[in-house]
Amino acid sequence: MGAQPLYEAIVRRARETGCAGATVLKGIEGFGAHSRIHRPHMLRLSEDLPVVIEIVDRADRILALLPMLDKMITEGLVTMERLEILSHSEEEHGT
């Protein structure tokens, strides 16, 4: 069995630590620190496409998760931003 993708490990860790939610978005094209364009190509697997992982929770829970993420992520960008939740369906799902 192959190794677990990093995005899966991060989402599982966020869930295990009790974060409110996480979403993985896979980009179709992009570039980063090395300025190399990443895009799908017919002759190679598209394993290097850009990925954004959004984790939503209170600031204290996100801050507690950062040391774990720092150990897991060898290359990438981690950002934090405040948000205002306008709608949430917690009561609808009974959680």
68-82 pLDDT per residue, tens? 999 998 888 888 898
> For residue 55, what pLDDT is reported?
95
Task: Report pLDDT for 44.
Answer: 55
Which CATH number belongs to the domain containing residue 55 in this structure?
Answer: 3.30.70.120
More confident residue, 3 or 55: 55
pLDDT in tens, 2-16: 588 899 999 999 999
Output the pTM of the full model.
Answer: 0.74
Please, how many CA atoms are within 13 Å of residue 3, restricted to the half-sphere of its CB? 3
Residue 1 lies in a domain: no
Instruction: Specify the number of domains making up the chain.
Output: 1
Residue 46 structural domain: 6-93
Does some domain include residue 15? yes
Statement: residue 1 has pLDDT above 60: no
d(C-alpha 42, C-alpha 94), whole Å: 45
